[in-house]
Amino acid sequence: MTVKEYVKARKEEIKAYVSNLELKPHFVVIQVNEDAGSNAYVKGKLKDSDELGIKADLIKLPLDTSEEELLSLIDKLNNDSSIDGFIVQMPLPKQINEEKVKLAVSPLKDVDGFHPLSPLNPCTPQGIINYLHSENIEMCGANALVIGRSNIVGKPMAKLLLKENCNVTIVHSKTKFEDMARYIANADIIVIAIGRQAFLDNKYTYKDSAVIIDVGISRDETGLHGDALPNLPVKLQTPVPGGVGLLTRLALMENLIKIYNKNHQ
Q: Which residues are catalytic?
A: 45, 89, 112
Residue 157 engages ligand NAP in binding (rule: CB under 6 A) = no
> For the CA atoms of the chain, what is the radius of gyration?
19
Does 125 sit near ligand NAP (CB under 6 A)? no
49, 146, 245, 253: which one binds ligand NAP (CB under 6 A): 245
If binding is defined by CB under 6 A, does position 181 make contact with ligand NAP? no
> Is the Cβ of residue 91 or residue 119 nearer to ligand NAP in the bound state?
91
> By CB under 6 A, is residue 146 in contact with ligand NAP?
no
Q: Where are the strands (E) in 50-193, listed by range?
A: 55-60, 85-89, 143-147, 167-171, 189-192
Binding of residue 85 to ligand NAP (CB under 6 A): no
> How many residues touch ligand NAP (CB under 6 A)?
22
Nearer to ligand NAP (CB atom), residue 51 or residue 75: 51
Cβ 197 vs Cβ 222: under 8 Å = no
Given 47, 163, 172, 264, the residue binding ligand NAP (CB under 6 A) = 172
CB 30 within 8 A of CB 59: yes
Tell me the DSSP string of 217-256.
Answer: -EEETTEEE-SB-SS-SSSEE--SSSSHHHHHHHHHHHHH
In the complex, what is the shortest distance from the CB of residue 140 to ligand NAP, in angstroms, rounded to a whole number?
Answer: 26
C-alpha angle 63/65/67, rounded to 5°?
125
Q: Are 252 and 258 in contact (CB under 8 A)?
A: no
Contacts to ligand NAP by CB under 6 A: 124, 147-150, 152-154, 172-175, 193-196, 215-217, 244-245, 248
